[in-house]
Structure 1
C-alpha cells in the first residue's frame, strides 16, 4: 500500500472582488507573520541544542506552514479571474447569484454561489464547484433541481434569484 494520492481536480478560477482583496490581505499578513516567526526561530536556535528545543521545533513547523500557504496564495492569485459584474441574463443562476430554494417539505434556504476560495458555511456561501451549485448553474426561476446526497437525492424548486452583495 502506498501513500500516493492523485492530485485534486483543478478548482474553478473565479472569485469576487472582495474575495480577491481578502486573499491579497491574507498574503500580506502572512509575510508580516513570517518575519516575526523567523525572528523567534533565530532566537530559539541561539539557545543551543536544537534536537531537544521545543521552541525551535515548533517555530520550524510554523514557518513551514506559513511558507506553504504563501506559495499557494502566490500561485492561486495569479490564475484567479475577478468577476465584478453581474451577468447579462439575471433570470438564470450564474456565479455570484443568491438562490432561494424550497425542498419537498416546504423548508426554504438561500445560497450564494461564490468561488472555491471564498465559500463560507456560516454565511450560506457555497462553492461553484459543490454538487448543489453545479446542479443550480444555468437554471431559472421555478425550475426543479435534484441533488444527489449520500442519504439519497433531494429535490429543490428555485423560488428566487438575485445578484446583490448582501
Structure 2
C-alpha cells in the first residue's frame, strides 16, 4: 500500500472537511432529496436529479478523503531537530541569484499545495530540486523559462 506524505496541518484540514461533509452537507442533501421526492414524478424532476448529483459528488469526496487519510504518512517537522536540510514539510527561503529576489515556500503534500499561499507540492520541480539540499547550497531548478540558479538562504522546521 502506497503511503502519501502529508503535513499535520494538511491532515487536520482534511479531517475538518470530512467532518463538514458528513455532519452538515450529507444531511442537507438527504433532506433536499426527500423534499424533491414529494414533488412527484422523478423522471422530470430537476430538483431531484440535482440533489442526487450533489449527493454523488459529496459521497465521492468523502471516500476520497477517507482513502487519503487512511494512506497518509503524517510528517510533523516541528518535532524534528533543524539540521538545515530541506525535507518534506519544511519552510524554505530561496534567493534567485540572478535577480536577488527572495521567495519562501513550504513543501507540502499534493492535496495541500496552493501556490497563492506559497505551499508547493513535494512533486513540483522546485521542491524536487530542493529536497535533500542544505542551507547555503546553490541549486539549479529547471523552470519553463529555463534553468534558474537559487541559493537556499533559510530552512525552518515550523
Runs (5+) with no aligned partner, structure 1: 1-9
Change (3 A) 1:23 1:135: same
Kindly provide the CA deviation profile for residues 30-75 of structure 1, in whole angstroms up to 9, marking residues without a partner as x: 1121111011112112212223222112111111110110111111
Structure 2 distance, partners of 1:85, 1:140, is 15
Structure 1 distance, partners of 2:45, 2:4, is 42
Q: TM-score when scaled to structure 2?
A: 0.88
Larger relative strand fraction: 2
Q: Is the 8 A contact 2:108 2:120 kept in 1?
A: yes
Aligned twin of 2:87 = 94
Q: CA deviation at 1:23?
A: 0.8
What do you get for the CA RMSD once the two structures are aligned?
A: 1.9
Q: How many residues align?
A: 155
Q: Which runs of 4+ in 1 moved over 3 A?
A: 85-89
1:58 aligns with 2:50: yes
Aligned twin of 2:74 = 82
Runs (5+) with no aligned partner, structure 2: none
Larger relative helix fraction: 2
